[in-house]
Each structure stands twice: as C-alpha cells, then as structure tokens.
Structure 1
Amino acid sequence: MLILTEKDVESLVTFQEIIDINEQVFIKQSKKEVNCPNRIIIGLKDKGNSYFKPALVDDMAVGLKVVSSVPSNQDRGLPNTPATVMLLDPESGVVQCLISATYLTGLRTAAGSAIATKYMAREDTSVMVVFGSGIQADLHIRMILLVRSCIKTVYISSRTVEKVDVLIKELASLYKNVEFINSSAFNVKEVIGKADIIVGASSSKSPLFSGNDVKEGTHLCLVGTSLPDAREIDSVTMVRSKVIVDDYNSCIMAGDISIPIKEGLIDKSHILSELGDLLTGGINPRLLDSNCITLYKSSGTAIQDIATGSLLYQKALQSKTGQFIDMNGK
C-alpha cells in the first residue's frame, strides 16, 4: 500500500492536470459510468460531523473518502476539514493507496468551479470577487485564472483580514498582470456591482451580499457550505440565476437551494442540470442568453475525489513518490 502525504500531493500534479481529470469524470457521470452512493454522516457529538463518501469510476478507480468538519480544529493547529482518500485495487479489493486529502479536496473543488467557469462565464470577464481567505479561496483564484486569463482585478473579502493580506502577497508575486485588492472593509454593494465572477468560498452561514446588486451576465461559484441551514447567497440571487450543480442529490439539500425552495420562491426544476450533462451537450444557459446570471453550486461529490486520487496515485508510481507499506507482511 502506498501512502501519500499532503506534501506529496502538492508536488505531484499541475492545476491543469487536475482540471482535466475532473472534466473527464464529470463527463463519465453524465454517461452513467460512475457509481456514487449517498454519503453517510456521523455526528461527532457537538464537535462536528464526519462524512463517508464511496464511489466507483469506470476504468479509473474505486474508493472511499472520509472527511470531517470540525471548526475547533483551528485551535489545535489542525485543518478544519481533515480528509483521507482510500483507493482500492478494483480486481482484488485490496487497499492500494491512502492519501492525505485536505489539499486534494481543495484541488478538486476548485477544479469543478474552474470547469463551470470555463463553460458558463462570459469570455470578456475582467473582475472577480472572492469571499474567503483559506485554501478554497486560494485555489479557486489560481484555477479560475487558468480558464479566464482575461481577469485583471481580484477583490478578496474575509472576516480574517490579516489572512487576506498574506494571500494577496503570495498571489501578487505569481500573477504580475493581476491586481489583488483586500476588500474586507469595502462597501459590499459597490464591489459586487463590479463583479463578472463571484466565488463563495467562505464559512458564512448567512448571505454575503444582496442579490439585487449582482449585475446581469455575472457568473457565481458557491462552494462554502452544504449545510441545509446555511447559505452564502440570498434567495433573490438564487431566483435570478440559471443553476448548474455538481451533484443534484447533495445540492438540493444545501441551504443556498433548499431555503428558497422552502420559501416557495423556486422549485426543484430551478436546477437546470448537473455539470456533467452540460459538458456532454446539455443546455448551457450562457449560450442562450449572454446577459443571464449563471450559478454553479458544489456540495462535493466523491467521484471527483476518487478520480483525482487515482491521478495522484498513477503520478506517484511514475515518480516513485510516497511510502510503501506491506500490509500483508509478517
């Protein structure tokens, strides 16, 4: 069995490779070439939750992701969402690889948003607004800049202003032609009104801005929460948007969508399709109306974890990265 650490994961692949493998697996999803049972959630008393998410991707991999959400971990110097991916040999069922998957989770989530942005955002985007300052915000900025290199200004807003300053310093050293602005203390209405792309990668439980301030033609990516009682946008934003999701069954339960449904403002048909169906020729709202507001909601799907993990495993074998342990040794 091969063991890959977070450091190993960061060294093995490029962002473009991650985007490519995730686009492939969403296409497989549309073609029914995956098996992704509903996740199992186990509460950790009042500390948080652990999620067990199995998946099989035809001709690629089978495995399980275990991820927890424990907000108090930041006081322990640990990730708030520690994760591990386990890959199995599809022939024998023997464990092939264990991957420390906190960074992997960030990679695959940002890749999903980048794919959605590639197909749904306007080609002439120049301003992106990002809510959040953690790994998700960081990776979303980097991957979206890959698919929309026309972006010239990125506003970053977070309750932890100091973390935004650190993130901006790092990003500014990598992207010389992009202006990064800490907008944490700015008037939210003014910033949102400029946005061509809005990314919600925060831990907020209540709407971050008013949907009345979102201009026509904007594209949104929401990844911050999948809880039924939490949301990053208000109902006005959801009503105004043409919605694509990564996984229907998970997203229909997320507060961004479930709350306006309970309010009677939308119904389940407001979700146009899953991302995979869009990639295989389904309705793309941007092609029908260039001025519409498009929205990609992600609650996370294990097919992305397993496909991304499989790529990392293959790259690790090629580069002889990681540590092998003989589980059957005596």
Structure 2
Amino acid sequence: MELHQVPSVDGDAHPNGSTLLLSDDDVRRSCDMAAVVDAVEAALRDAPGPQLALPPRSYAAVEGTFLRVMPAIMSRAGVLGLKMLHGSFERGVRYLVVLCDLETGAVTGVLDAAYLTAARTGATSGVATRHLAREDAETVGVLGAGLEAETNLAAVAAVRPVTRVKVFSPRPARRADFAARMGAALGIDVVPVDTARAAVTGADVVVAATNTGAGGPVALHGEWIEPGQHVVSIGSTMPARREVDVATFARADAVVFDAPADTVAAESGDVLAWRERDDRAATAVPTLTQLLGAEVAGRRRADDVTVFKSIGAATQDLAAAVAVCERARELAIGTPVRGLADLKTF
C-alpha cells in the first residue's frame, strides 16, 4: 500500500475544504489493522532526506506536566503534520494528531490519537514481524493484557498465520478477559497462563507490551528465549522503565530498532541498561528502515533469535492517521468542519 495525498472529506484538497475530525471512537471504528501495517511500512521505507523531514521531538515540562511534540514532513505521502501528547502519568495523558496537505497546506484531519498511538505501535511491530519472524510462525506469547498488547497481537496476526496465543498478566482477571476478547475478535485460540515464562515457552513470536512502572522488574528474561523466536518489545519508552533484561538483547542473533540507536537509548531504560553493559553492541543496532532497504540482514536461519525494540516516531503516527482517515471517509465516519486554519496571504 502506498500513501497518497490526503484529501478533505468532501474530496477537495484546498484551503477552503473540510477538515475531518475523528474522536477516539471514530478512530477505533475506522482502524483496519492490515491497512495500517501496510501504510506504516510504506512510511518506514523512507529514510530522512529529500523525501522526509523528521526533526527531533520536542519536550517541555512544568511542575509535573509534560508536553511532547513530534513533527514530520512526508513528501512522498503528500502530507505534513505532527503528533502531540501532554499531561502526566499520574493524571493521564491526551494525544492528538494533525494532518495537513503538503501542497496546499490545508488541515485535512485532526484525530484523537489515544487509540491511534496503540494502533501504530502495533502496526510497526507488525512490519518488523513480517520481515523478522519465521514465515511459518503461528503461535504467539503475549506479556501484558492492555490496549497495546491487544493492538500488537492484532498486527502480528495480520502478517502471520496465527492459530494459538498464550497471554500472561499478573492480574488473573485481566488475562482472562484479554483471552476471551481477543479470541473472539481474531477468531483464534487465546488462552490465559499463570506465568510469564509459560507464555514465552513454545511461542514462535513473543510480544512484550507491559507497564511495569518506573524502576519496576523486567517482564521478559533472556534465559527464557528459545531458538527461532521473534521478540517484540514496546513497553520501555522512558529511561526509568524496564521491560526486558540485557540478556534478551545478548541472546539475539539480530536486533532492530525503529529509530536510531542514540534516540532509542535516550528514551528506553532497557537499551540504556544494555548500553551500560555493552556500549559497542547497543550502538551498532540498525533501524527498521535500514532492514526494509536491505542495507542490513535480519533473520538468516530458522533458529535465529530476532528482537525488535520500538519507541515510536512521528512518521508512524502520520502514516497510521492517513490510513485511518481514508477508511473513515469510505465509511462516512467523523465530523467534517470548514474554516479551520484558513489560508492567510501576505
């Protein structure tokens, strides 16, 4: 799937066209995971350069409230825009994506990005799984039973013929609910298990999508990993948060990040810990863009262990937003608004 220019809801792509507003519920109803995986992959194939501007994300914080802004210009897709999130982990966080037509500057979409963030995280993991997991992978072990565990599993199931899933959460009710919900949604066998290790054992793909908290214990230990497994880790996106141990990276035959190693190390406590133990190895990790461009090798043998670590990027958010907006227009979902950010000439 290629990304295309994003017209407004009435088909125009000019400053006087409509802006499509999508609530979180609108986004959920418009999210086709397979389409989002394809859209994110198309975006990931572009490295920063003439077709892609991806500046560093900006941070600000005052008395416990933070603001993060992630802009991007994607020439090949014909869009520019940003994702912003603000709040605190104590009170909660709000997410927003703004899409603009690159040629006209018209604001074509404004999306609540709470679910969208989880969907694009899953979709990026789906891209990595498509290119790193064994072709015959059909069993998945999931650590975590929250929203991002749900979207990551859905994305893995979109790119591999998954038939059976084991899920672990330290809270029995949550893992039982996840198993029932996702089993029905995906039409596959999803069973809750009593330990994290039981979820990992015998799985072809292992998804770690946890929230162990600042300074919390790791959820996945490298000593549990078996030959041939593909590991996805998305939970450690702050320096104080841990999800997998250093042995997980050391166990791998190939490790891939979704952003440059220095960027990932600045935001992931897991990678910081790995860098402290083995700076040379942690610094040399390639990106998913390099893997897609065949600049580096991924899986070489069936028994290789591959690990994908994700922290997210604005290009993934914008690509996912484009796919969701296209689907929303097809389904007549959302609210069209005129007169938002009208053109001012000088």
Tell me the TM-score normalized by structure 2.
0.83
**Match among 108, 121, 127 for residue 109 of structure 1:** 121
Are 2:163 and 1:152 equivalent residues in the alignment? yes
Q: State the 1:136 CA deviation.
A: 0.6
Determine the structure 2 residue equivalent to 1:54. Answer: 71
Determine the structure 2 residue equivalent to 1:283. Answer: 296
Q: Counterparts in 2 of 1:192-211, with a 5 A limit?
A: 192-204=200-212, 205-211=216-222
Name the SS for the 1:105 alignment partner.
helix
In structure 2, what residue type is equivalent to 1:57?
M
Determine the structure 2 residue equivalent to 1:15. Answer: 33
Are 2:235 and 1:235 equivalent residues in the alignment? no
Flag the 1:13–1:265 CA change in 2: closer, same or farther, 3 A. Answer: closer
Residue by residue over 1:27-48, the C-alpha shift from the partner in whole angstroms, topping out at 9 and shown as x without a partner, is 123776211111112235235x
Q: Counterparts in 2 of 1:42-121, with a 5 A limit?
A: 42-46=60-64, 49-60=66-77, 61-68=79-86, 70-73=88-91, 80-121=92-133
In structure 1, what residue type is equivalent to 2:292?
L
Q: State the 1:84 CA deviation.
A: 0.4
C-alpha RMSD of the superposition: 2.3
Whether the 8 Å contact between 1:285 and 1:292 is mirrored in structure 2 is no
Determine the structure 2 residue equivalent to 1:274. Answer: 287
Determine the structure 2 residue equivalent to 1:142. Answer: 154
Determine the structure 2 residue equivalent to 1:324. Answer: 336
Are 2:181 and 1:170 equivalent residues in the alignment? yes
Determine the C-alpha separation between the residues in 1 that align with 2:341 and 2:117.
29
Flag the 1:129–1:69 CA change in 2: closer, same or farther, 3 A. Answer: farther
Determine the C-alpha separation between the residues in 2 that align with 1:268 and 1:258.
9
Name the SS for the 1:276 alignment partner.
helix
Determine the structure 1 residue equivalent to 2:269. Answer: 255
Q: State the 1:52 CA deviation.
A: 0.7
Determine the C-alpha separation between the residues in 1 that align with 2:62 and 2:114.
19
Determine the C-alpha separation between the residues in 2 that align with 1:19 and 1:120.
15
Determine the C-alpha separation between the residues in 2 that align with 1:299 and 1:69.
18
Q: State the 1:13 CA deviation.
A: 3.8
Flag the 1:137–1:189 CA change in 2: closer, same or farther, 3 A. Answer: closer
Flag the 1:148–1:316 CA change in 2: closer, same or farther, 3 A. Answer: closer
Count residues in correspondence.
316
Q: Which runs of 5+ in 1 are unaligned?
A: 74-79
Q: State the 1:268 CA deviation.
A: 3.7
Q: Counterparts in 2 of 1:182-221, with a 5 A limit?
A: 182-183=192-193, 185-186=194-195, 188-204=196-212, 205-221=216-232
In structure 2, what residue type is equivalent to 1:298?
S
Flag the 1:53–1:30 CA change in 2: closer, same or farther, 3 A. Answer: closer
In structure 2, what residue type is equivalent to 1:51?
R
Q: State the 1:213 CA deviation.
A: 1.7
Determine the C-alpha separation between the residues in 1 that align with 2:20 and 2:158.
31
Q: State the 1:194 CA deviation.
A: 2.0
Flag the 1:321–1:173 CA change in 2: closer, same or farther, 3 A. Answer: closer
In structure 2, what residue type is equivalent to 1:256?
D
Flag the 1:159–1:266 CA change in 2: closer, same or farther, 3 A. Answer: farther
Q: Which runs of 5+ in 2 are unaligned?
A: 1-18
Flag the 1:20–1:240 CA change in 2: closer, same or farther, 3 A. Answer: same
Determine the C-alpha separation between the residues in 2 that align with 1:229 and 1:138.
24
Name the SS for the 2:140 alignment partner.
strand
Determine the C-alpha separation between the residues in 1 that align with 2:170 and 2:59.
29
Tell me the TM-score normalized by structure 1.
0.87
Whether the 8 Å contact between 1:251 and 1:257 is mirrored in structure 2 is yes
Determine the structure 2 residue equivalent to 1:125. Answer: 137
In structure 2, what residue type is equivalent to 1:110?
G
In structure 2, what residue type is equivalent to 1:230?
R
Residue by residue over 1:250-272, the C-alpha shift from the partner in whole angstroms, topping out at 9 and shown as x without a partner, is 3132222121111236534441x
Determine the C-alpha separation between the residues in 1 that align with 2:186 and 2:22.
29
Q: State the 1:232 CA deviation.
A: 0.9
Greater fraction of residues in helix: 1
Are 2:268 and 1:264 equivalent residues in the alignment? no
**Match among 22, 40, 47 for residue 29 of structure 1:** 47
Determine the C-alpha separation between the residues in 2 that align with 1:125 and 1:52.
37
